[in-house]
Amino acid sequence: MKLKGPWIALQHRNYRLLWFGNTFSQLGDHMQQVAQNWLVWQITGSVTALGLAAFIGIIPRLAFGFFGGPIVDKYNRRYLLGSTQSAALLFSLGFALTAASGAITFPLALFFIFTLETTQIINQTTRQALLQEIVPRQDIPSAVSLNGTGNNLARIAGPALGGTLIPVTGVEGLMFLNSLTFLGVLMAVWRMRIPARQWGQTQAEEGGFCERLLEGYRYIWKNNRLRMLIYLGMVSAFLIMPIISMLPAYVDNVLKGGPQTFGFLMAAFGIGAVLGAMNGPAVRASIGGVVTLLAAVLQGILFILLGAITIPFLAFGLMFTLGLATITYNNSVVTAMQLSTAPEYLGRVMGIYLMHKAVTAAGAMLLGTVATFAGADRALVISGIFYLGLGAGVQYANRDLQAQALSAAVPGKGKGNG
């Protein structure tokens, strides 16, 4: 199979199997999110309970981000991926059966949410760390972009499909459907053929758990590129990504719209993200690592503009552009991180990076607090101004290090682990 452009990574059989299986599984993940939120609301009728359920889902990300990387770096990643996916299938089935039997309670729902999120974060870290084993270095930018495309397609279709199916299947029926989607990755893992790792026993794999954990942190701390890349990912997660949580209040209080307006804004963001993911490698090849600085400036400006307008039609265009800029930025950072990290450390590095969803939750709490006192429009303006300083400004002030860190994401310019 000969493919070109953003699709080139799909010509590699192992990656092709994983991408299709993972996209199918992610569709189920987003459907599950709709189902479990609706179930918690049915059980409790409490907004506080919804917030607690979201918080419980964050805990595994924080814990595994700090402590789980050595597991991914020590064990066979293909087998680990299959094991966590099998565990997720069992927990998902247990959640669905308990809900269908009428025995579900709020504490039981929290237990299943926690276990599913635990398997999810291990799974995500393993998939990211596996890329270098199934895709040649020169095609990593394409693989990262395709991962973003699949994720955003699932993010668009999953909630819409879940909301449509709940009246037909019920919450428990939607959960059973999600259980079936785990088979996609399991079938992909079963059919993959991956040679044994070539790097052998290194300092990264020797010693006990704590020693390998500390070795991973030392590796990150000594690597200026990685420190910059992790910072760039976290500051975007804290100040930009919380807009998704803010949208209902923004639509209601600023745009004076309803659920349809909210749906259109989410769709506009998702479509922009898909197009940005597909065209990211070509853009980086054309203008280089500076694309991340330009995307950061654009994100900050778009936040300020969103806070300044009250016309839904303009908001659709701004959200589309924000989706495009955000995925371009994030994919550039992830690509550079993949290409700047030695394979034996990838689990620990990506484990830290994938804590960004927990950072986004913290940012959403802060943005919500600001919006409570100042309004959703002013909260977006304030966040945009801070991001121009802490995101774009820090990049510009450290532009030599920023260029070095992000050069790995530009085809033909990566120089190894640095």
What local confidence, expressed as pLDDT, does residue 41 receive? Answer: 83
Span 290-321, pLDDT tens digits: 788 889 999 999 999 999 999 989 999 999 99
Q: Percent of the chain, pLDDT > 90?
A: 18
Helix (H) or strand (E) holding 158: helix 140-191
For tokens 């209040």, the residue is 249
Q: Which residue has the higher pLDDT, 239 or 164?
A: 239
pLDDT of residue 207: 63
pTM for the whole structure: 0.77
| Residue, of 402 and 78, whose pLDDT is higher | 78
**Inter-axis angle of helices 140-191 and 259-287, to 10 degrees?**
110
The mean pLDDT of the chain is: 82
What are the DSSP calls for 30-94, one per residue?
Answer: HHHHHHHHHHHHHHH--HHHHHHHHHHHHHHHHHHHHHTHHHHHHS-HHHHHHHHHHHHHHHHHH
In the predicted structure, residue 38 carries a pLDDT above the cut 80? yes
Give the integer Cα–Cα distance in Å for 82 and 188: 9
CB-based contact 186:85 (threshold 8 Å): yes
Angle at 181 between CA 242 and CA 174, to 5 degrees: 75
Q: What is the pLDDT of residues 252-277, one digit of tens each?
A: 889 988 777 877 888 888 888 888 88
* Residue 417's pLDDT band (cuts 50, 70, 90): very low
Mean pLDDT of 102-130: 88
Q: Is 208 left (phi over 0), alpha (psi -120 to 50) or beta?
A: beta
User: What pLDDT was estimated at residue 408?
Assistant: 53
| Least reliable range by pLDDT among 92-106, 142-156, 172-186, 373-387 | 142-156
Q: What is the pLDDT of residues 361-413, one digit of tens each?
A: 888 888 888 888 888 899 999 999 999 999 888 888 877 766 666 655 544 44
- Report, as an integer, the average pLDDT of 195-207: 51
